Amino acid sequence: MEHHMAPLRTPADLERALAEARTLVDGLEQAGPEATTHFNELLRVISEYRGDVPRPSPEDAKRHALDGRLEAFGRRWSQAEGRPDHWSSMLGGDVKPRPPGA
C-alpha cells in the first residue's frame, strides 16, 4: 500500500512534519515496513517544501517563452539589416537616410 502525503504549504505544516519525523526516527529500527514507508514519504515532502518561494504560474512560463522568441527575432532582424543604426528612424531619430560615412 502506497502512501501519498499532500505537499507542505505553510511553515506550520513544515514544523509539524519535522516533529513527526523526529518522533519516528527514534523508533525506526523496531518499526515495520509501513512505518518506514511513512517516514520516507515524510522526508520526501519535507525535502520538497519551498516555503515562501512563489511557484511560477503558467502565464509566467508563456511570458518567458514569448520574451525568448522576441529576443531571438530581434537578433536575427538586426543582423539581417546590416546597419548598426537601423533602429534610429523607429525611435524618433533620422527619418532621412544619411550618406555613407556621415
Who wins on pLDDT, 88 or 11? Answer: 11
* pLDDT band, very low/low/confident/very high, at 45 (cuts 50, 70, 90): very high
How many domains does one find in the chain? 1
What does the alpha-carbon distance between residue 67 and residue 72 come to, in Å, rounded to a whole number? Answer: 9
Q: Looking at the domain assignment, is residue 37 inside a domain?
A: yes
pLDDT of residue 95: 57
pTM to 2 decimals? 0.47
What pLDDT was estimated at residue 17?
Answer: 92
Q: Give domain status of residue 17, yes or no.
A: yes
Range of the domain at 27: 11-48
5 lies in some domain:
no
All three cell numbers of 8, joined, read 507542505
Query: Does residue 83 or residue 62 have the better pLDDT?
Result: 62
Beta strand ranges found along 2-102 (DSSP E): none
The yes-or-no verdict on residue 84 having pLDDT over 70 is no
